[in-house]
Amino acid sequence: MSDEMTLKEGFARKSEVESVEHAETLSITTGNHMARTRRRWSRSSQDKRHKGQNLADNVHEAVTFDYISPGQLYSTESGRLFHAGKILVVLVGLPATSKTLLSVAITRYTKWLGVRTWSFHVSEYRRRMAGVGLEEFPIDYFSARPQTAEGSKVRNQILDQVSKDMLAYFKEGKGQLAVYDALNILAEERVQLNQQFMEMGIKVLFIESVMNDSELIKHNVEQASKSADYVGWSKENAIADYVHRIKINKQLYEPMTREEQLSYVKYINFGEQLIVNNNHFGYLVNKIVFFLMNLGEKKGCVYFARCGTSKDDKYIRDEVLNEEGLQYSEVLTDLVLKTINARRLTKSKNAVIESWKNSPKIRAASSGPASPSPSPLIPTHETLRRSESTGNTSVRQPATGDGGDEDSFVVWTAPRKRTFDTAKFFLEKGITVRQKSQLQQLHPGLVADLSKSQIKEKFPEEYREWKKDPYHYRFPRAESYHDLAVRMEPLLLEMERMRGDILIIGHESTLRVLYGYLMACSCSDIPSLQFTRDELIEISFGPFENKVRKVPMPSYRK
């Protein structure tokens, strides 16, 4: 999608006439301001977007009128998942409580599920309005209850605009789920929002993010000081300013209670505790709660690699690796371990690393209990914490092997022989390797092991249909990409749950779908994403967007 892509396309206009009207009601969101923010979201890859691999995270891309998402189970004429209705998700919480991260994550997941979702970030509206910088804003704008006339005027103006846009999105844009990312810390504001939308038959779910863990808050404040609001500020000034924003709102904050009689989820300390209250919405809300249960701040990365080659590269035979495939596996193992260790070393404040090389005790502590040899990974503080708490009955025991720890490393492979064997060198080094049946490659059906030209010759009609929509088209007896995505959904949640590093070794088809989720690719992009055996793909997580890096593979071919 290009720079000219604007929010109004997200609202899916039917006719030109409507489009003009719409542009007026959404004056803030269209035009160059929008283009500028859009550029910021995907600056790193703006130029490459139409050339092959799409490296940008598309979670903030608009959803067009006929948009069909990767994991959509079924679609109805209204474009909504049939039994879920319209829902407004309202974030509630002080600054530095990860509201933006939550709204982006919910948007990513529900969009993938086939829900027409759009997130409305008040901070984006404000930045667009400011145009140039923060200086022009009234001093108490950032308070939930500004004292100056000017402050409350600007604040109301922006909030009114967001609320207008959200209504328009539901009414005209066929939206099903809107995510409203703002403070919403005053009870009266919440009641009013609830009333306003319920009257229109839109259910309102509040998600209140509460943080009382000072480490988490400190971390979030630091993140915020690097945000777009503070470009050109010194770190100290930025932090001081942000802390001030928290302070002025803290005294106004009215936490949600049952007495408000609203439907809400309290999300405490990044998922340490969740309280679900008055949940009458069923399906979609349960799905979101399940998702939130598994969401957490990811410290590690997800790596994607193809499996090694086999002799004839035939699907039906389930072949084993050939010699080149084995060499590839070995080189891949070294590369992944080296990459992960290099990332650990750059976190230089980690004292464990200093003494690592000399202390066999620490080296031994870095491996799991079942591993006889020392881990090839550099230990971190997390490793030490784990080895200290093992056997201590007063604390929760660490679950090894499923990626719960920040410094865990798990390899997932498909059940096919050559994919599993690609991980054999990891297994030898004592690293957890899990075979996941959902990673089974796209079933090719009757076109298995045929080349494109053979398919064209044998199945001319099917081939033509497939060309039109390679994501949804199903060759005779085969799976479509869509089928594959639905089948793989449980893996997404499991992936979200894992805090540490994951390497996924799979067939190109499954890598495409997982990549498509993490980078919010559209159906039309997914079938043509390319993964080669010459590079390792690394995806790292950010609150606003995810990032891709390609790590070249050293030579392994003879």
User: Closest CB to other proteins among 12 and 365?
Assistant: 365
231 Cβ contact list (under 8 Å, min separation 6): none
User: Closest CB to other proteins among 43 and 477?
Assistant: 477
Residue 181: active-site member: yes
CA distance 351 to 142: 39
Which CA distances in Å does 54 have to 51, 60, 109?
7, 14, 19
Site for other proteins in 95-114 (CB under 8 A): none
191 scored as a contact of other proteins (CB under 8 A): no
Nearest distance from C-beta of residue 409 to other proteins, angstroms: 14
Catalytic choice (57, 165, 181, 229): 181
CA distance 514 to 504: 9
Rounded to 10 degrees, what is the CA torsion of 492, 111, 499, 519? 90
The beta-strand segments (E) located in 284-328 are 302-306
- Least Cα distance to 294 among 105, 145, 510 occurs for 105
458 scored as a contact of other proteins (CB under 8 A): no
Nearest distance from C-beta of residue 427 to other proteins, angstroms: 12
Nearest distance from C-beta of residue 369 to other proteins, angstroms: 4
Nearest distance from C-beta of residue 71 to other proteins, angstroms: 10
Site for other proteins in 500-539 (CB under 8 A): none
Q: Of the listed pieces 47-55, 118-126, 265-273, 455-463, which binds other proteins according to CB under 8 A?
A: 265-273
> Residue 505 in contact with residue 423, Cβ under 8 Å?
yes
> Residue 511 in contact with residue 308, Cβ under 8 Å?
no
Nearest distance from C-beta of residue 271 to other proteins, angstroms: 8
Amino acid at 72: Q
- Dihedrals phi, psi of 281, to nearest 5 degrees: -90, -10
Please select the residue that binds other proteins; options are 57, 479, 501, 525, rule is CB under 8 A.
479
Task: Please count the other Cβ atoms lying within 10 Å of the Cβ belonging to residue 535.
Answer: 17
Nearest distance from C-beta of residue 163 to other proteins, angstroms: 28
User: Closest CB to other proteins among 185 and 410?
Assistant: 410
Please select the residue that binds other proteins; options are 316, 348, 360, 558, rule is CB under 8 A.
316
Number of residues that bind other proteins (CB under 8 A): 54
How far is Cα of residue 171 from the mean position of the Cα atoms in its chain?
A: 27
Which CA distances in Å does 478 have to 168, 316, 456, 466, 482?
41, 13, 16, 12, 11
User: Closest CB to other proteins among 331 and 486?
Assistant: 486
β-bridge partners, 118: 178
Tokens for 261, please give them.
Answer: 């009689």
Nearest distance from C-beta of residue 367 to other proteins, angstroms: 11
Tokens 């470009």 found at: 231
293 scored as a contact of other proteins (CB under 8 A): yes
Nearest distance from C-beta of residue 430 to other proteins, angstroms: 10
215 scored as a contact of other proteins (CB under 8 A): no
How far is Cα of residue 438 from the mean position of the Cα atoms in its chain?
A: 20
- DSSP code of 273? E
User: Closest CB to other proteins among 139 and 399?
Assistant: 399
User: Closest CB to other proteins among 313 and 402?
Assistant: 402
CA distance 234 to 248: 21
Amino acid at 89: V
Nearest distance from C-beta of residue 484 to other proteins, angstroms: 9
x/- track of binding to other proteins for residues 363-402 (CB under 8 A): -----xxx----------------------x-xxx-xxxx
Please select the residue that binds other proteins; options are 233, 253, 315, 544, rule is CB under 8 A.
315
User: Closest CB to other proteins among 74 and 251?
Assistant: 74
What burial letters (b/e) apply to 218-229, b meaning 16+ CB within 10 Å? ebbbebbbeeeb
Site for other proteins in 433-452 (CB under 8 A): 437-438, 440, 443, 448
User: Closest CB to other proteins among 120 and 264?
Assistant: 264
Site for other proteins in 129-188 (CB under 8 A): none
- Least Cα distance to 151 among 159, 164, 142 occurs for 142
Please select the residue that binds other proteins; options are 40, 474, 547, 549, rule is CB under 8 A.
474
Which CA distances in Å does 284 have to 63, 274, 279, 289, 490?
19, 16, 11, 9, 15
Site for other proteins in 266-285 (CB under 8 A): 271-279, 282-283
> Residue 161 in contact with residue 125, Cβ under 8 Å?
yes
Tokens 């805090």 found at: 499
Residues that bind other proteins (CB under 8 A): 74, 258, 271-279, 282-283, 286, 289-290, 293-294, 315-318, 368-370, 393, 395-397, 399-402, 404, 432, 437-438, 440, 443, 448, 474, 476-477, 479-480, 483, 486-487, 489-490, 493-494, 497-498
Q: Which residues are catalytic?
A: 181
